[in-house]
Amino acid sequence: MKMTGIITAAALAVTSVSVSAETLKLLTWKGYAPKALVEKFEKQTGIDVEVTYSNNEEMIAKLRATRGSGFDLAQPSQDRISSVQAKYNIYQPMDYSKIKTDQIIASMLTAVKNNTNVKGKSYAAPFCYGTSGLVVNTKAAPDAKDYDALMDTNYKGRISYRLKRPTLIAMAFAKGDDPFAKYSDVDAYTELMEGVGEDLIASKHLVKNYWANGDALLELMRNGEVNVAMAWDNGGWKLHEQNPDIDFVAPTSGALGWIDTFAIPAKAKNVEGAYKWINFMLEPENAAYFTNQEKYGTASNGANEFLEPKIKANFERSFSKADIDNIKWYPPVPAKLESIEGKILDKVKAAN
């Protein structure tokens, strides 16, 4: 009796494996593959989705280590694609004929195509966008309007940011400089960033910690342990729902705008599945679900009508017309800059 039970179970297991043999290996950011959507997709297509969470740097390192295999779809930021592709050849050209491009906001698709163009071929399609700026407890830090609030002695011990390249770039803008304009001039860029590094070291004693995990930062802000932080807009909006005092503030020297994309690794096994996922995620209803949930802006064309009103309210509260015009969209990062920045960031971390 027991024995037959085990055999039946084993047989079932074998058949269920063979039924769902097709899998899609997704390398993406936390929150980019909501559970409900994954289940819906699996039901529609019969493809199993395996999700691995990561960030830009790790995505590149992973794909570089495997020479573009091991995953079927990645979601790097658009500015981190072209130079990496030119050097390591880890993605395959996007076949835009397989994407329902009418689902995508046209201007954004054009921008991404341009920015990910390597030798006449483009490598990505837009998925969502957002900005980095300040998340502020407006009661505790009413005057935090620009990135320099992160070096303000008034908020000593209540400041947090990531020790990553966006912070360097933000601080450069706050100094009145334009780091993007200096991307092509390595020496000028180095000089600018070294200055920023010195500023960060000088004001280091004001910082509570360098955050590495977004959820942990939100927890610190919720508890009032941090009042001014540099973070993504959606984090500020999420906190705003729980505590109206906390909100995302678009800095006066400009929020940093990024677009995250879909890109298919060079040796992806399930390319068809990858396109299916791209089209699925950009369907207006699904895209809207994602945005309602995660509060990131979507590249989906028709999603607007499905958005909750507070999403729109968030955006309008944080961004004036001038703020929107002032968003600094990341241009593609040329090679070499990362290692210059890396050394400066190490110096900041090690400094006393």
Partner 1 sequence: MPYAGRLTLYFFLTPVLLWLFLLIVIPHIDLFVISMQVENDDGDMVWSLLNYQAFFEEKIYWMTFVRTALYAILTTLLTFIITFPVAFYITKVLSIKYSGFFTILLLVPFWVSELVRIYGWMILLRESGVFNHFLLQLGLIDVPIEMLYNDISMVMGLVYTSMLFMVVPLISSLEGLDDSLIEAAYDLGASKPVIFAKIVIPYILPGITSGSIVVFMLTLGNYLTPNLMGGKNSLWFTEQIYNEFIASFNWNQGAAFGFLLLVLSTFIIWLGLKLTRQNLSRALS
Of 120, 151, 110, 111, the residue nearest 134 (C-alpha): 151
When asked if residue 207 is in the footprint of partner 1 (CB under 8 A), the reply is yes
User: What is the pattern of x (binds partner 1, CB under 8 A) and - over residues 110-149?
Assistant: ----------------------------------------
C-beta of 98: minimal distance to partner 1 in Å? 30
Q: Which stretch binds partner 1 (CB under 8 A): 3-11, 223-231, 241-249, 277-285?
A: 223-231
Q: Which is nearer to partner 1, 58 or 241 (CB)?
A: 58
In this complex, which beta carbon is closest to partner 1, that of residue 121 or of residue 205? 205
Structural contact between residues 264 and 81, judged by C-beta atoms closer than 8 angstroms: no
Contact status: 153 vs partner 1 (CB under 8 A):
no
Beta carbons within 8 Å of 137's beta carbon, 6+ residues apart: 221, 224, 226, 227, 228, 243, 245, 246
Q: How far is CA 238 from the centre of its chain?
A: 16
**At its nearest, how many Å lie between partner 1 and the CB of residue 207?**
6
If 0-12 CB within 10 Å is exposed, 13-18 middle and 19+ buried, where does residue 46 land?
A: exposed
User: Residue by residue, what is the 3-state secondary structure of 324-349?
Assistant: HHCCEECCCCCCCHHHHHHHHHHHHH
Q: Tell me if 10 contacts partner 1 by CB under 8 A.
A: no
Residue 223 as a binder of partner 1 (CB under 8 A): the answer is yes
Query: Taking CB under 8 A as the rule, does residue 58 contact partner 1?
Result: yes
Which listed residue (11, 17, 36, 212) binds partner 1 by CB under 8 A? 212
Residue type, 109: L
SS3 content of the chain, % helix, strand, coil (to 5): 50, 20, 30
Size of the site for partner 1 (CB under 8 A): 32
Q: Does residue number 61 form part of the binding site for partner 1 (CB under 8 A)?
A: yes
Cβ closest to partner 1, residue 177 vs residue 341: 341
Apex CA 114: angle with CA 303 and CA 109, to 5°? 10
Min separation Cβ 350 and partner 1, Å: 4
Considering only 17-25, 205-213, 262-270, 285-293, which stretch makes contact with partner 1 by CB under 8 A?
A: 205-213
Helices (H), the chain: 2-19, 35-45, 56-65, 82-88, 106-115, 165-174, 186-202, 214-222, 233-242, 271-282, 284-294, 309-318, 321-325, 337-350
Q: Would you count residue 199 as binding partner 1 (CB under 8 A)?
A: no
Figure out which of the listed residues 183, 210, 306, 329 binds partner 1, where binding follows CB under 8 A: 210
> Using CB under 8 A as the criterion, which residues of the chain lie in contact with partner 1 when the complex forms?
57-58, 60-61, 64, 84, 87, 157, 164-165, 204, 207-210, 212, 223-225, 335, 338-339, 341-343, 345-347, 349-352
